[in-house]
Amino acid sequence: MSATDIDEIRKSVRQLCDRYGEDYWLELDRERGYPTEFVKELTTSGFLTVLIPEEYGGAGLGVYEAAVVMEEICRAGAHAGACHAQMYVMGSVLRHGNDEQKKAYLPKIASGELRLQSFGVTEPTTGTDTTNLKTMARRDGDNYVVNGQKVWISRIEHSDLMVLLARTTDRAEVAKKTDGLSAFIVDVQAAQGNGLEIRPIESMINHHSCELFFDDLHIPAENLLGEEGKGFKVILDGMNAERVLIAAECVGDGRYFIDKASAYATDREVFGRPIGQNQGVQFPIARSYTEVEAAWLMVEKAARMFDAGEPCGAEANMAKMLSSEASWKAGDVCMQTHGGFAFAKEYHIERKFRETRLYQIAPISTNLILSYIGEHVLNMPRSF
């Protein structure tokens, strides 16, 4: 895509976001509401479905264009976390679904008839140690019967479908710890009350995360995504796209903070002059701007490599780490620049500050990225 087309995407996304405005997000944050209208408009206007191929009703664009959409949403002061998973969870169905699954789900996801916003991996007792997860799916005739528990599963109450990762073979019985895991497409409405219990978690940001309890949930065998026992690959394949998109959101958050901080530093007068005239106020904003823009270069690199089909695990991870740290620092600088007003909700900064903090922890924490780089890029000894 040309630079003009990218500018056009940015402009259209921004216009859409401007129709909602920051007060819309503040109100949702207060009442823990879901941005149903925003997500609907983002879908019908084609932005949330940019990654779905044209034959299934999407725009058939790449992760780079998707990253631009996410970045612009966050820069506008909106909260892309309410809907970002639709982009990358869909990728698991696209890459690993069989023809019937793709025909059944992708056109409806593209039209907005079905929402695939939920991704069930994390468990309370095993956390980052994914291959040790305990939720079991046992084959029983034409079904798999699922028992276990998940935690922090976001947007499930606002989703028709969830991609679930469970063990189909005990870890003790497989040669490699990544074997014996399987991915499933779960019809959330049908499952709820029939073996699936959903309990919302009260949390620091409006992310709609829940605990899930599985008690003999029956999933039709045809809902297996990819091969039985090879579900880890189904999940892993989506992770690079997820990291790039979330990194782009962080850059959007960072640019949002810099926009706000530089404008306020220019307007606000104390001691008879703009506070931004003091280098003690100006330099942290300039430094933060530099860090955010540097992080964007890594996001661009990772996205381009992803779209070219090149291995980009290192770049996607580095992009996520650099941008989540840069956006958090930009948030801190923005808070400091606004002084006491940073704490007033009507300034919106404290909400974005809470939201952007998540990305140093989820979907993968910084330490785990560092261990990936240390081991897989720099060939240092494995730590776990």
Q: Show contacts of 380-384: CB within 8 Å, 24+ apart.
A: 384/129
Q: Is 199 exposed, middle or buried (0-12, 13-18, 19+ CB in 10 A)?
A: exposed
**134-153 positions binding ligand FAD, by CB under 6 A:** 152-153
Q: Does the protein bind ligand FAD through residue 122 (CB under 6 A)? A: yes
CA–CA distance, 262 with 270 (Å, rounded to integer):
15
Is residue 271 near ligand FAD by the rule CB under 6 A?
no
Q: Select the residue interacting with ligand FAD from 45, 128, 189, 266 (CB under 6 A).
A: 128
- Residue 104 interacting with ligand FAD (CB under 6 A): no
Rounded least distance, CB 356 to ligand FAD, Å: 12
Binds ligand FAD (CB under 6 A): choice among 92, 106, 358, 359: 358
Q: Single out the segment in contact with ligand FAD by CB under 6 A; choices: 61-69, 88-96, 271-279, 362-370.
A: 362-370
User: Does position 365 bind ligand FAD by CB under 6 A?
Assistant: yes
CA dist 100 and 85 (Å) reads 22
Q: Does 132 engage in binding with ligand FAD (CB under 6 A)?
A: no
Q: Is 384 in the site for ligand FAD (CB under 6 A)?
A: yes
Element (H, E) at 167: strand 161-167
154 is a contact residue toward ligand FAD (CB under 6 A):
yes
Burial of 301 (0-12, 13-18, 19+ CB in 10 A): middle
User: 3-state DSSP call for residue 123?
Assistant: coil
Q: Residue 86 and residue 119: Cα distance in Å, rounded?
A: 9
Of residues 158-217, which lie at the interface with ligand FAD (CB under 6 A)? 203, 207, 209
Distance CA 297, CA 275 (A): 30
H-only helix segments in 268-348: 279-307, 313-338
Q: Tell me whether residue 16 or residue 133 sits nearer to ligand FAD (CB atom).
A: 133
Residues 8 and 146: their CA atoms lie apart, in Å, by 46
Asked if residue 80 binds ligand FAD (CB under 6 A), the reply is no
Hey, what are 317's tokens?
């991870």
Of the candidate residues 42, 93, 121, 330, the single one contacting ligand FAD (CB under 6 A): 121
Considering only residues 104, 190, 198, 361, which one is a binding residue for ligand FAD as defined by CB under 6 A?
361
List residues near ligand FAD by CB under 6 A.
Answer: 119-122, 127-128, 152-154, 203, 207, 209, 358, 361-365, 367-368, 371, 383-384
